[in-house]
Amino acid sequence: MAQSLLLIAGTALATWFIMRSVRFVPRALNREEREIRSAKDIGNQLDGARDRASLVEVERNKLALAKAVKAALWVTEARLNFAVPELLKIAQMWIGQSTDRSKKWKAPKGVTEIEGLDDEQAPWAAWNFNDHHWRIEGQWGPSGIPEDMEVAVGACKVFLDRHVVLDMTLSRKDRQVMWIDALTVGPWVSDLLAFAGAQTSDAKAHTSARSARENQERADKIHWS
């Protein structure tokens, strides 16, 4: 009797073990199921790669912004945001004076090959000085930012020997630097600042002299009885 009970118990235990083992044996997937699993794996890999790329892009944008801010501060401290537009304005006067046949005009010392366009929205001027070709371009218009559509901004580019050495976006009202798209730091900066300073002084001197002459002419027409 005891042996029969042990046999029955052993048979039941063996049957349970076999059924449990069979239950956990992975079933072979068919073709459609394999494709679905493969697609899920690829999707998970793409999601992971996208997340990693997003983090890299965020860090890259942070570095680009920090670099642009540093360049804007440097340009502001060098006062190129004032010197460049002012020099462009003075060079615009050269163009008008050089084409006015009714007046004798002499170009600034060392300046040759003056050319340009006196335009309200897109002025530019170019000249040769000290064996270098200089060109300044301006582009003025409303801001592209919806909140600041009424704010006039401008892009000023400086070319030295036909290479861009400065490309900056400015507020037209106060010449505040809003963005720097290109900047090459080099000797050209001090050269341009010295040249612009000299031309500004000459322009002010000519303006003062002309004003003095006009005042004298007015005074000569006044006669006291």
Which residues does 161 contact at the CB level (< 8 Å), separation at least 6? 132, 133
Q: How far apart are CA 203 and CA 47, in angstroms?
A: 63
- Residue 169 has phi, psi (to 5 degrees) of -105, 130
The 3 state secondary structure assigned to 77-138 is: HHCHHHHHHHHHHHHHHHHHHHHCCCCCCCCCCCCEEEEEECCCCCCEEEEEECCEEEEEEE
* One pLDDT digit (tens) per residue for the chain, 225 residues: 555 555 555 566 556 555 555 454 455 666 666 666 666 665 666 666 566 656 667 666 777 777 878 888 889 898 999 999 999 999 988 887 877 666 777 888 899 999 998 888 899 999 999 999 999 999 987 655 555 556 678 899 999 999 999 999 998 888 888 889 999 989 999 999 999 888 887 655 444 445 545 544 554 555 444
**Which stretch of DSSP H or E encloses residue 142?**
strand 132-142
pTM over cut 0.85: no
